[in-house]
Copies of this chain bind each other. A is one copy, B any other.
Amino acid sequence: MKIFSFLNRASRLLHDSPACSKLVVLCTLSGGGFVAYSESQSDGFAIPNINQSECKKKRVVVLGTGWAATSFLKDLDVSSYDVQVVSPRNYFAFTPLLPSVTCGTVEARSIVEPVRNIIKKRNGEIQFWEAECLKIDAANKKVFCRSNFEYSFVGNLEFSLEYDYLVVAVGAQVNTFNTPGVLESCHFLKELEDAQKIRRSVIDCFERAVLPGLSEEERKTSLHFVIVGGGPTGVEFAAELHDFIQEDIVKIYPMVKDLVKITVIQSGDHILNTFDERISSFAEQKFTRDGIEVKTGCRVVSITNKEITMTIKSTGEDCSVPHGLVVWSAGIGTRPVIRNLMEQVGQGKRRVLATDEWLRVKGCEGMYGLGDCATIDQRKIMEDIAAIFEAADKDKSGTLTVEEFQDVMEDIIINYPQMELYLKNMHLSGCADLLKDPEGNDRKEVNIEQFKLALSHVDSQIKSLPATAQVAAQQGTYLSRCFNHREMCKDCPEGSRSFRGSGHHQFLPFRYKHFGQFAPLGGEQAAAELPGDWVSMGHSTQWLWYSVYASKQVSWRTRVLVVSDWTRRFIFGRDSSRI
């Protein structure tokens, strides 16, 4: 029983020290070793606030268990809130590894963590219901939910919850752009089930291609894999698929190895067009070397379960190609429950749910929108220009001196982050530069019309945030901080001066900090955009990718599982059983 008690002790050790800040995971598995340098995030669980415990707790309902919701819940101080979480999935999934799941590089279970595990240290103060939110009633502060269980059921599965604060973090759904046949004939890559389905279907394509009695043409069609969308997800899937086929599949289906073809269809001129262009062209070159066809400037017009039809933008011609499997990763759209909410709150004409810079949904009180389901509608400097001028013009002279402008500049930069970008991109060093006349001469002071003219191009720098895990996670953390400091900041607001109203904003607005992004390209190579406009490409970047992705796992359990999956893949290859 010695081994048993050793394991128990090891288990307790790992459970009890979630915040060892740096640790070397040395994982030796049957002769294979892999070293992951992992920087653990501090769990930062709530510090109970004793003074508040007697007030009536506000009811917080959180919709979703993705990146935004989970990072909100992780840091929330539950001593002042009654928290209820509603999601059709009782787990958090580490979505950046979804493309790896499609080919079995990582197993589906290795990237999920049950929500109840994440919240269980809160002594039951956070409640979770596995249900889908069907409708948000913003006027009455209520949400209507329904559980959806596969088998026999007991009791009523519908219920409603009342809230004081609602955190909407339900994510997005696939956007088909109304292309005919997409829903019926394509695979997607949004949910874990999608990745598992793709994995089965890839094996199906090979099993089908080797069946007796098929023509060479039919075998080729069955092995033509098409990816629509050249963004990071599509490109990573193409790379994973290529690796899977070359490293594992050809060994067991050698008879059809020359018939395989992978095509990436991109409507823009380049794949990975949100990345630095060096990365984009590196990826295109690597794909060409690997035999992955990249069709740029092509717009898909329809898909059947036999062929895909697209328009070549340059010539306007249509062409059709037969396929064995299509993965659609062309963009994200709004979920019906959010669409309905938008109509209730007067946002019916918008494309995405709009929030202000404090993540509050515009047009309704006590509701927050995070992650992919919402976007920050950054206020424009030109809309507030008169108020800014008035606030800055302390001596009410009708003109603004450089010094007066200087005094409000800090608040402007906080409230209108486009100003900082504008200064940087225009290579302006400060207020004096901004207020120069059109010929470039210094001006001591400006009137309102001159001020408007000087700032007229600042709003062109407004950028909406990308729909990434990184943004969602930062928003969740930001919002939990606001919730935790709500009482404190009521009396001493921490935000900047409000130009439109009087006094100060209660909180600082949300600011996104970009830590860079990765694009794994297959063959143990990756490309990365790092902070400070650094670009890194090649094998070493892949190892950086391994380290970062291992360290960013939400729990020690998933970290160990992901690393052991990678190790297993190195030693034994990927599994091709169709389950």
**Interface window among A45-53, A151-159, A503-511:** A151-159
- The answer to whether B7 and A116 have CB atoms under 8 Å apart is no
CB-CB under 8 A for A253 and B114, given A155-B218, A215-B155:
no
- The answer to whether B124 and A255 have CB atoms under 8 Å apart is yes
Give a binary string over A185-222; 1 marks a CB under 8 Å from any B CB, 0 the rest. 10000001100100011011001101111110010011
Docked pose: A154 CA to B304 CA in angstroms: 12
In this complex, what residue of B is CB-closest to A542?
B4
Q: Does A57 contact B (CB under 8 A)?
A: no
Docked pose: A35 CA to B30 CA in angstroms: 11
Q: Does A180 contact B (CB under 8 A)?
A: no
CB-CB under 8 A for A154 and B324, given A210-B129, A213-B159, A579-B108:
yes
CB-CB under 8 A for A575 and B7, given A129-B212, A149-B208, A564-B564:
no
- A579 contacts which chain B residues (CB < 8 A)? 91, 108-109, 112, 192-193, 196
Docked pose: A91 CA to B577 CA in angstroms: 5
Q: Does A39 contact B (CB under 8 A)?
A: no
CB-CB under 8 A for A151 and B305, given A29-B560, A117-B252, A193-B579:
yes
Q: Does A55 contact B (CB under 8 A)?
A: no
Give the size of the chain A interface in residues (CB under 8 angstroms): 98
Interface centre among A31, A104, A112 (most CB of B within 10 A): A31
Q: Tell me how far the C-beta of A75 lies from the nearest C-beta in chain B, rounded to whole angstroms.
A: 20
In this complex, what residue of B is CB-closest to A220?
B154
Interface centre among A25, A306, A570, A577 (most CB of B within 10 A): A577
- The answer to whether A124 and B577 have CB atoms under 8 Å apart is no
Docked pose: A156 CA to B547 CA in angstroms: 47
Q: Does A70 contact B (CB under 8 A)?
A: no
Indicate which residue in B108, B154, B200, B564 contacts A29 across the interface (CB closer than 8 Å): B564
- The answer to whether B222 and A154 have CB atoms under 8 Å apart is yes
In this complex, what residue of B is CB-closest to A11?
B571
In this complex, what residue of B is CB-closest to A31?
B10
- The answer to whether B185 and A152 have CB atoms under 8 Å apart is yes
Tell me how many chains of this kind the complex includes.
2
Chain A residues 113 to 158 lying within 8 A of chain B, measured CB to CB, are 113-114, 116-117, 120, 124, 128-131, 147, 149-157
Give a binary string over A539-579; 1 marks a CB under 8 Å from any B CB, 0 the rest. 10000000000000000110011001001101110011111
Docked pose: A31 CA to B560 CA in angstroms: 11
- The answer to whether A201 and B577 have CB atoms under 8 Å apart is no
Q: Tell me how far the C-beta of A558 lies from the nearest C-beta in chain B, rounded to whole angstroms.
A: 9
CB-CB under 8 A for A124 and B254, given A150-B200, A152-B185:
yes
Q: Does A513 contact B (CB under 8 A)?
A: no
Docked pose: A557 CA to B11 CA in angstroms: 25
CB-CB under 8 A for A252 and B114, given A130-B578, A211-B147, A572-B560:
yes
- The answer to whether A33 and B11 have CB atoms under 8 Å apart is no
Docked pose: A89 CA to B208 CA in angstroms: 13
Q: Tell me how far the C-beta of A95 lies from the nearest C-beta in chain B, rounded to whole angstroms.
A: 13
Chain A residues 1 to 36 lying within 8 A of chain B, measured CB to CB, are 1, 3-4, 6-8, 10-11, 13-14, 25-35
- The answer to whether A91 and B578 have CB atoms under 8 Å apart is yes
Q: Does A349 contact B (CB under 8 A)?
A: no
- The answer to whether A114 and B32 have CB atoms under 8 Å apart is no
- A109 contacts which chain B residues (CB < 8 A)? 104, 107, 575, 577, 579
- A213 contacts which chain B residues (CB < 8 A)? 155-156, 159
Docked pose: A109 CA to B107 CA in angstroms: 9
Q: Tell me how far the C-beta of A434 lies from the nearest C-beta in chain B, rounded to whole angstroms.
A: 51
- The answer to whether B11 and A34 have CB atoms under 8 Å apart is no
Chain A residues close to B by CB (< 8 Å): 1, 3-4, 6-8, 10-11, 13-14, 25-35, 89-91, 104, 107-109, 112-114, 116-117, 120, 124, 128-131, 147, 149-157, 159, 161, 185, 192-193, 196, 200-201, 203-204, 207-208, 210-215, 218, 221-222, 251-255, 305-306, 322-325, 524, 539, 556-557, 560-561, 564, 567-568, 570-572, 575-579
26 sampled A-B residue pairs with Cβ under 8 A: A10-B30, A10-B571, A14-B571, A29-B29, A89-B578, A91-B577, A107-B107, A112-B575, A112-B577, A116-B252, A116-B576, A117-B252, A117-B576, A120-B251, A120-B252, A129-B207, A153-B208, A154-B208, A154-B218, A154-B322, A155-B211, A155-B222, A159-B211, A560-B568, A561-B568, A564-B564
